Structure 1
Amino acid sequence: MKETNQPRGPLLTGFPPVADERCRILILGSMPGKASLDVGQYYGHPRNHFWRLLYALLDGGAPEPSYEARIRFALSRRVALWDVLRSCERQGSLDAAIRRPEANDFERFYQRCPYIRFVFFNGSASEQLYRRYVKPVEKDAALRCYRLLPSSSPARAMTFSAKLEAWQPLREAWLSGAEG
């Protein structure tokens, strides 16, 4: 996420959060990839493991084919989805190509969703961006537990079963009472 002389790419704008006041867990990406932006859906790339992981970990079986049903599933498990960035310039989908990042308004988000206790980063770029642009101004951070998970992206060369094992802390947080 450094400034370089490379072409910056188009200005991209992310999605609003998927959340309600009951959510206890927040899963943060960095910025939606091109395939997700094209279809207007979080984790919209057909090879992204995100929805399979979420359903497997939170007792959902196979993911619903409908995006709206997937969103209802996440919210029924009190899981919020968002990205660290509101906008950026980027060519393609790789996080390494992000230029001129602008963070989302987390202060307002945490006011709207006051019961968030667990924040999971879907990949290292989201964690790095959060720590750089959000953490310095974050309030009540002591109330939240942060955890880095390997990216669900198909660009992350890892089998589904290895990702499922590495994502077990999400299930543990959910079972610990985050769901109720």
Structure 2
Amino acid sequence: MRKAALPPAVRPDTRVLVLGSLPGEASLAAGRYYAHPRNQFWALIGAVIGMETLPALPYEARLDHLLEAGIGLWDTIASAQRSGSLDSAIRAPEAAPLAELATALPSLRAMAFNGAKSARTGRAALAGTGLADTGLALIDLPSSSPAHAARSLAEKREHWLRLQHFLG
């Protein structure tokens, strides 16, 4: 079954764009980013913006806080064939127009890839676009997914906290 990404959650003043690969089943069903209850995204990004209570808030409030802090959300894959939620099951991916979105965000300072699949897909989509020459930082982050348990939340958090540098 072909699955499509959610629309970007950005504002013109977005400074950091966090990019997943393609939303999982729980997120697609809810129409919300990082809806799986065991996904660590909201705890990690809450630490980045200094708001440890972020995961407890209703979704719309969480998203508002992120956008207010200068963080946007999207995915590197616009659509793909996939059974289930695992990145390893993605087939026939169509890359999202990342360069197009980046050029429409005048305050953008960094694109952060949430996981290895996002980084591979996103870097390939951006290759040859000239965005690297603009000073835009491309940051690979350990995945917030519950399927990626190789690192502890504390270890992941240390990597994710690097995003604070681009928000000031």
> Could you tell me the TM-score, scaled by structure 1's length?
0.86
Question: What corresponds to 2:65 in structure 1?
Answer: 73
The equivalent residue for 1:118 is 110
The equivalent residue for 1:159 is 152
Would you say how many aligned residue pairs link Structure 1 and Structure 2?
165
Match of 2:133 among 142, 148, 163: 142
Contact 1:26–1:119, Cα closer than 8 Å, also in 2: yes
Q: Deviations over 1:98-157 (max 9, x none)?
A: 11111112233123212211111100100101122x123524332201111100001111
Letter in 2 for 1:48: N
Write the distance in 2 (CA, Å) between the matches of 1:109 and 1:166. 25
AA in 2 matched with 1:44: A
Measured against aligned partners, the alpha-carbon deviations of 1:15-40 in whole angstroms (never above 9, x if no partner) come to 01000110111111100011111111
CA RMSD of aligned residues (A): 1.3
Write the distance in 2 (CA, Å) between the matches of 1:113 and 1:152: 25
Structure 1 segment 11-26 matched on structure 2, within 5 A? 11-26=2-17
Using the alignment, how far apart are the partners of 2:49 and 2:99 within structure 1?
Answer: 27
Cα pair 1:56 1:62 within 8 Å, conserved: no
- Hey, what's the Cα distance between the residues in 2 that align with 1:131 and 1:110? 13
Of stretches 14-23 and 99-108 in structure 1, the one that deviates more from structure 2 is: 99-108
State the shift of 1:75 in Å: 0.5
- The SS at the match of 1:167 is helix
Partner residue, 2:38: 47
Q: Deviation of residue 166 (structure 1)?
A: 2.2
Question: Which runs of 5 or more residues in structure 1 are unaligned?
Answer: 1-9
Partner of 1:3: none
Q: Do residues 86 (structure 1) and 41 (structure 2) align?
A: no
Aligned match of 2:48 in 57, 60, 83?
Answer: 57
For 2:119, the equivalent position in structure 1 comes to 127
Structure 2's unaligned 5+ residue stretches are none
Which protein shows a greater Rg?
1
Q: Distance in 1 between matches of 2:72 and 2:25?
A: 21
**AA at the equivalent of 1:160:** L
